[in-house]
Amino acid sequence: MSRLNALRLAVAAGLVASLMGGALLASPKSAAAMATAASQFLASLSPDQRAKAGFAFTDDERLRWHFIPNEMFPRKGLMLKEMSEDQRRLAHGLLRTALSTRGYTKVTAIFQLEDILQVMEAGGRFARNKEEYLFSVFGTPGPKGAWGWRVEGHHVSLRLTIHDGSISNQVASSPMFLGSNPAEVRDGAQKGLRILGEEEDAARALVEALSAEQRRLAITAAVAPTDILTMNQNAITPLPDEGILYSALLPAQQELLRRVIATYTDTMEADVAAERMRVATREGLDKLRFAWAGSIEKGQKHYYRIQGPTFLIEFDNTQNNGNHVHSVWRDFSGDFGRDILREHLAAFAH
- Distance separating alpha carbons of residues 34 and 217, to the nearest angstrom: 43
Task: State the pLDDT at residue 5.
Answer: 42
Once rounded to an integer, what is the mean pLDDT over residues 195-203? 98
Task: State the pLDDT at residue 20.
Answer: 39
Task: State the pLDDT at residue 43.
Answer: 98
* DSSP annotation of 81: G
Higher pLDDT, 121 or 24: 121
* DSSP annotation of 306: E
Please enumerate in sequence order all residues whose Cβ is within 8 A of that of 222, keeping only pairs 6 or more positions apart, or say none: 293, 294
Task: State the pLDDT at residue 61.
Answer: 97
Q: Which residue from 315, 314, 311 is spatially nearest to 333, judged by alpha carbons?
A: 311
Helix and strand element counts for the chain (H, E):
11, 13
Please enumerate in sequence order all residues whose Cβ is within 8 A of that of 226, keeping only pairs 6 or more positions apart, or say none: 316, 318, 319
pLDDT > 80? residue 166: no
pLDDT in tens, 74-97: 999 999 999 999 999 999 999 999
* DSSP annotation of 245: E
pTM exceeding the 0.85 threshold for the entire prediction: yes
Answer whether the bond into residue 182 is a cis peptide, omega within 30°: yes
pLDDT > 90? residue 1: no
pLDDT in tens, 9-41: 333 344 344 333 333 444 578 899 999 999 999
Task: State the pLDDT at residue 6.
Answer: 39
Cα–Cα distances in angstroms (integers) from residue 324 to residues 92, 155, 226, 344, in the given order: 26, 10, 11, 40
pLDDT in tens, 210-236: 999 999 999 999 999 999 999 999 999
- In this structure, is the dihedral angle defined by the CA atoms of residues 68, 69, 72 and 74, taken in order, positive or negative? positive
Domains of the chain by residue range: 3-347
Once rounded to an integer, what is the mean pLDDT over residues 116-128? 93
Judged by phi (left if over 0) then psi (alpha if -120 to 50, else beta), residue 245 lies in beta
Task: State the pLDDT at residue 13.
Answer: 40
Higher pLDDT, 75 or 350: 75
pLDDT > 70? residue 348: no
pLDDT > 90? residue 154: yes
Cβ-based burial of 323 (10 A; exposed 0-12, middle 13-18, buried ≥19): middle
CB 224, CB 303: distance < 8 Å: yes
Query: First-to-last CA distance in the chain?
Result: 55
Angle between helices 3-21 and 251-265 in degrees, nearest 10 = 90
pLDDT > 50? residue 7: no
Helices (H), the chain: 3-21, 29-43, 47-53, 85-98, 101-120, 197-209, 212-218, 251-265, 270-280, 319-322, 338-347
pLDDT in tens, 292-344: 999 999 999 999 999 999 999 999 999 999 999 999 999 999 999 998 888 65
Once rounded to an integer, what is the mean pLDDT over residues 180-205? 97
pLDDT averaged over every residue in the chain: 91
Neighbours of 114 (CB within 10 A): 21
